[in-house]
Amino acid sequence: MPPRIFWTEQQLALLHKHYPNERTCDLANIIGRDIASIYSKANKLGITKSAEFLASPASGRTNGKQGIGSRFVKGQQSWNKGVHYMPGGRGAESRFKKGHRGGRALENYQPIGAERISKDGYLQRKINDDMPLQRRWRGVHILLWEAANGPLPKGHALVFRDGNKKNITLDNLEMVSRAELMRRNSYHTNYPKEVAQVIQLRGAIQRKINRRIKNERTTK
């Protein structure tokens, strides 16, 4: 990295004196700094080109007369104020249509009804092309269960009784609450498989007993 070259008092004085009314390229030769450095320093110090210089041919913007007849004057309104954009011509032929796919999106596109295996091992089926993307795919086991029982209640999930995610049958599906699913997962994490199954079975029996007791109380 080249060493930083600081501005001298003489260079700063020349900048203040000549920058407003001189071409920056000429000033670069006078001061001995590159053009980018001069622009940057002038900007930091708040030094700007004068109105006289900007209106002169030296600025490169105009010779002082060109374009006078077509310039906006203070208070003048533009001809298209309040007019909404109306596409016309042949531009519509080259615009992307709704649902257009190209490039990688076209290569990766799968039609509705296509199936895939999720990262968690569930068989999923594409049900629509809508947004968001994550709602385009649904577990086949959920679709099967909902076709027979209606929408899956909020806060509940489906589990495979035999633990085999490929065995997608109604008899192998069980609806449980998210809380119950969390308890079951903790069983399998903290205990051997056989012990976890006993705990799970005991919990199922206890829940049935509690429901029966509750039903008997309400009928009395």
Please give the average per-residue pLDDT across 182-209, as a whole number: 71
At 147, is the pLDDT very low, low, confident or very high (cuts 50, 70, 90)?
very high
Mean pLDDT across 42-50: 91
Q: Is the per-residue pLDDT at 186 higher than 80? A: no
- Residues 56-66, mean pLDDT to the nearest whole number: 67
For the cut 70, the answer to whether the pLDDT of residue 52 exceeds it is: yes
When pLDDT is cut at 50, 70 and 90, the band that residue 43 belongs to is very high
* pLDDT classification of 167: cutoffs 50, 70, 90: very high
Q: Which of 28-42, 127-141, 145-159, 186-200 has the highest mean pLDDT?
A: 145-159
pLDDT grade for 198, boundaries at 50, 70 and 90: confident
Q: Which domains does the chain have, with CATH numbers?
A: 9-63 (no CATH), 112-219 (3.90.75)
pTM for the whole thing?
A: 0.42
Mean pLDDT of the chain: 81
Strand partners, 138: 125
Higher local confidence (pLDDT), 115 or 182: 115
Task: Read off the pLDDT of residues 83-98 as tens digits, 9 standing for 90 and up.
Answer: 776 666 666 666 666 6
pLDDT value at 62 more than 60: no
175 DSSP β-pair partners: 158
Percent of the chain whose predicted confidence (pLDDT) is above 90: 25
Nearest CA among 13, 1, 7, 59 for reference residue 33: 7
